[in-house]
Structure 1
Amino acid sequence: MTDEASGIRTYSFLGPAGTFTEAALAQVPEARGQRWSPVRNVGEALADVVEGRSDAAMIAIENSVDGGVSTAQDALATVGGLRIVGEYLVPVDFVLVGRPGTKLEDVSLVAAHPVAYAQCLQWLTRTLPAHAHVPAASNVASAVGLLDGTSDADAAIAPPGILDHHDVELLAEQIGDNANALTRFVLVSRTVAPPPPTGADKTSLMVELPEDHPGALMEMLEQFATRGINLSLLASRPIGDALGRYRFVIDADGHVHDERMADALLGLRRFSPKVVFLGSYPRADRAVVHYPDRYSDDVFVEARDWLRGLLSGEPES
């Protein structure tokens, strides 16, 4: 929470220091020089925000290789009073580190978080064909375990930021198998009004389908398609109260202040038993959203004015 005397704001992030989440938080201009609070999981980060211990939290929401981060998506769907206020992209690359003095040819046992291990498996197979894998609790814990004696591994796969915080030996860098891998992070605050549109915006939603019937998913998607709105993310998550019941995680191109987006939200509200608006915010890539002229704000305004004229008995021009 903000320290009233000093004006210092607090930001929660998945720690400890050196994680990809910390690298995402470093991209937030207003977070620089503020208090950064490391936490152990997404639930703790969001609880910090809801309960006032932090002003905002940075969490991973999607990976270009592994897809959506289900724990984060489910938490955003069920924890009330939250808004996404920004998104940030972090390249997912890894380094292989060891204790000081370790050489690459000495490595036979590698500690790594299972996801990181899978993303470096081709490199490991080529470079260390006889290695064995020891699962680690996190990307940073894999390296810290080498130094505090809790791991018997010879080396660890870790984020590059580990080199800024711990005295480890760099054995190899850029060992990830996908050079284009990215993780998308979102900065989450308590509920606030959306910032003004920039023209390069994204709107995030959680939408539950009504009772199961043929075409229900198509009906939901039509709310966007008939208004010229592109979806950059559509993923299903089980609601958990019964088999076959799902909510959909949606990222739509545009801002809630856009007439076409506002109209789509009204349609979703009429259609769905539950719509969770997570926020409209600038896209991380700053790519301007393009759409056909027939879906411009002026077209929606003119249509409403036309209908008002009909209802008031005005002669048609």
Structure 2
Amino acid sequence: MKALTSLTVLGLLTLNLSASPAAAAGSIAYLGPAGSWTHQACLDLYGDKDLVPLTRDELFKSYTDGKVERACVPVTTSVVGVTPYLDAVLDLPNVTIVAEYPKMLGYSLLARPGTKREDIKEVYAHPVAFEEVKPWVDREMPNVRRTDAASGGAAAQTVANSPTLDKASFGPKVGASVYSLVSLVDGIEEGPHNVTRWWVLGRDMPAPTGNDKTSLLLNTSDDKFGASLAALTGAGVQVLTVYERPSKKTLDTHRYLIEVAGHAKQGKLAEFLAKNSEFRVLGSYPRK
């Protein structure tokens, strides 16, 4: 997987920062509030038009109910593996992944204007973010209290609302613009070791491009998984990654997210899927 560097954010942000607005068909939903890495990913992909910040439950319900056209969700990272949101996507009865977006992350330490780095006593971040900045924090701020937040945007919002100048948050630099904060340090833990990948959930499968990836879901027992995987590779399909997820049914059954090269409507993969209905297609999209 090739990591993408950050893109420049253009224009002013005009989102409602205090509450989740009502979703509208045609809009692009992301995990709010504004100032999160998912917000930044959507800005990179689509600009600031039609973006709707929603809570986790609102996002998945709005997508399922057809109230939003697209939803952007972080699913894997190079540091922690799968995110807490992957299983929620796999739980959806109907889903179409229309794009993936891997992005190299470089965190910013955000604080209210006037805050000095040496005065910071508490930092806020999403639990995954804390794992990703841990080497830097352990080295540079080992004695600062670390408090979990729902997202990078929520962390920045908490700092902005603090009456004192002893708090900071970790997240994308866009959070400084959204919440009138300042960045004390940029580029924290930026590098190929710190990449997050988002899925964009949509409605219609993109046409083949010649360089595609397909995400498959297989529900099976442990003793049958090897044969299923062998059948897939034996059909000449290149397996890229496999993620084992709990079935939520029994201990010896699992859900397997299997990502393969190719498009579900072309070539050997299309032939294989026509004969093996136990593999559910979650989406085919350009490979990044």
Q: Which residue in the other structure is 1:54 paired with?
A: 68
Task: Describe the SS at the equivalent of 2:188.
Answer: coil
Q: 2:81 aligns with which of 54, 60, 67?
A: 67
Q: 2:202 aligns with which of 168, 177, 189?
A: 189
**Shift in Å at residue 47 of structure 1?**
1.8
Whose RCO is larger (CA < 8 A, sep 6+)? Answer: 2
TM-score w.r.t. the length of structure 2 is 0.84
Pair 1:247-2:255 in alignment: yes
**Alpha-carbon distance change, 81 to 217 in structure 1, aligned in 2, over 3 angstroms:** closer
Pair 1:217-2:225 in alignment: yes
Q: Which deviations, in whole Å up to 9, do the C-alpha atoms of 1:136-179 show, x marking residues without a partner? A: 23222222112212888522222222122121122111122755
Q: Which residue in the other structure is 1:148 paired with?
A: 161
**Shift in Å at residue 212 of structure 1?**
5.1
Q: 2-side partners of 1:198 and 1:82: how far apart?
A: 21
Q: Which deviations, in whole Å up to 9, do the C-alpha atoms of 1:99-136 show, x marking residues without a partner? A: 11011122232222222122222212222233222222
Q: Which amino acid aligns with 2:215?
A: S
- 1:306-317 equivalence runs, <5 A: none
Q: 2-side partners of 1:134 and 1:77: how far apart?
A: 29
Q: 1:280 aligns with which of 273, 279, 284?
A: 284
**Alpha-carbon distance change, 78 to 124 in structure 1, aligned in 2, over 3 angstroms:** closer
Q: Which residue in the other structure is 2:9 paired with?
A: none
The runs of 5 or more residues in structure 1 that have no matched partner are 4-8, 285-317
- 1:61-100 equivalence runs, <5 A: 61-72=75-86, 74-100=87-113
**Alpha-carbon distance change, 109 to 78 in structure 1, aligned in 2, over 3 angstroms:** closer
**Shift in Å at residue 71 of structure 1?**
3.1
Q: 2:179 aligns with which of 153, 166, 186?
A: 166
Kindly name which structure, 1 or 2, has the bigger radius of gyration based on alpha carbons. Answer: 1
Q: Which residue in the other structure is 2:269 paired with?
A: 261
Task: Describe the SS at the equivalent of 1:27.
Answer: helix
Question: How many matched pairs?
Answer: 266
Asked whether the 8 Å contact 2:100–2:197 carries over to 1, the reply is yes
Q: Which residue in the other structure is 2:4 paired with?
A: none
Task: Describe the SS at the equivalent of 1:119.
Answer: helix
Q: Which amino acid aligns with 1:169?
A: V
Pair 1:20-2:37 in alignment: yes
TM-score w.r.t. the length of structure 1 is 0.77
Asked whether the 8 Å contact 1:93–1:179 carries over to 2, the reply is no
How large is the Cα RMSD of the aligned pairs? 2.3
Q: 2:219 aligns with which of 208, 215, 239?
A: 208
Q: Which amino acid aligns with 1:107?
A: I
**Alpha-carbon distance change, 151 to 232 in structure 1, aligned in 2, over 3 angstroms:** farther
Q: 1-side partners of 2:147 and 2:132: how far apart?
A: 15
Q: Which deviations, in whole Å up to 9, do the C-alpha atoms of 1:11-70 show, x marking residues without a partner? A: 111111121112222233xx44642111111x4223212212111111111111111224
Percent identical among aligned pairs is 29
Q: 1-side partners of 2:147 and 2:180: how far apart?
A: 21
Q: 2-side partners of 1:220 and 1:106: how far apart?
A: 57
Q: Which residue in the other structure is 1:39 paired with?
A: 54
- Which stretch shows the higher mean deviation, 173-182 or 145-154? 145-154
The runs of 5 or more residues in structure 2 that have no matched partner are 1-22
**Alpha-carbon distance change, 99 to 276 in structure 1, aligned in 2, over 3 angstroms:** same
Q: Which residue in the other structure is 1:227 paired with?
A: 235
Q: 1-side partners of 2:50 and 2:240: how far apart?
A: 33
